[in-house]
Amino acid sequence: MNHIVLIGFMGSGKTSVGMHLAEALGLPFMDMDARITEREGIPITEIFKKHGEEYFRTLETRLLSELSKSGQQMVISSGGGMPVQPQNRSYLKSIGTVVFLQTSTDILVKRLQYDKTRPVLQGGDLRERITELKRQRNPIYEQVSDVQVVTDHKSIEEIVQEIKKLV
Ligand code: S3P
């Protein structure tokens, strides 16, 4: 497949950048979290509360598997935890170009400090939680991505132009 998949931490701008990139490339856009929410008919916080994280991860893997077989080229933005599941990493290998949006912890803390929509960040000290999750996830993001873009202090348009040159 020849999809462009955006990966990276929560708050790194995958959805906004993905929408603009899709428009710039004249491709359809798919936001995995939005599609899962639409299918389940409830927000992600409710999916986690009602069925637990494992159930959400199963939905994520199912959707990724469908997308990896879809012939229609798309720009896809994923949830920050998607590449963590080993089976998802094998789908990512054959899906097209994987773009890792890298954002500093300081900027993520600012963006996420009042957020209530991300169950994996609720409770405890936000900076510590982000630091710990980044420590676990960054090596995975680096390993599965073909292209890496630092987003700090750049506009969405600048990030889109950078990705366009790289893919
Ligand atoms: C998650 C990230 C979220 C969403 C869910 C879990 C994670 O997506 O999939 O809340 O584990 O990092 P965003 O990265 O779009 O916030």
Q: For residue range 67-88, list pLDDT tens digits in order.
A: 999 889 999 999 999 999 999 9
Ligand 1 atom with the shortest distance to the CA of 45: 10
Residue 61's pLDDT band, with cuts at 50, 70 and 90, is very high
User: Is the CB of 44 within 6 Å of ligand 1?
Assistant: yes
Predicted pLDDT of residue 1: 79
- Residue 62 CA to ligand 1 center (angstroms) comes to 16
Ligand 1 atom with the shortest distance to the CA of 133: 12
Element containing residue 17 per DSSP (H, E): helix 14-25
Extract long-range pairs of 129-136: CB within 8 Å, 24+ residues apart. Answer: 130/9, 130/105, 131/105, 133/9, 134/9, 134/105, 136/84
Q: Whose CA is nearest to atom 11 of ligand 1?
A: 81
In the predicted model, is pLDDT for residue 45 greater than 90? yes
In the predicted model, is pLDDT for residue 139 greater than 90? yes
User: Is the CB of 118 within 6 Å of ligand 1?
Assistant: yes
Ligand 1 atom with the shortest distance to the CA of 32: 9
In the predicted model, is pLDDT for residue 58 greater than 90? yes
Percentage of the chain with pLDDT > 90?
98
Predicted pLDDT of residue 143: 97
What does the pLDDT look like over 16-25, one tens digit per residue?
999 999 999 9
User: Is the CB of 63 within 6 Å of ligand 1?
Assistant: no
- Residue 65 CA to ligand 1 center (angstroms) comes to 18
Residue 33's pLDDT band, with cuts at 50, 70 and 90, is very high
Predicted pLDDT of residue 71: 86
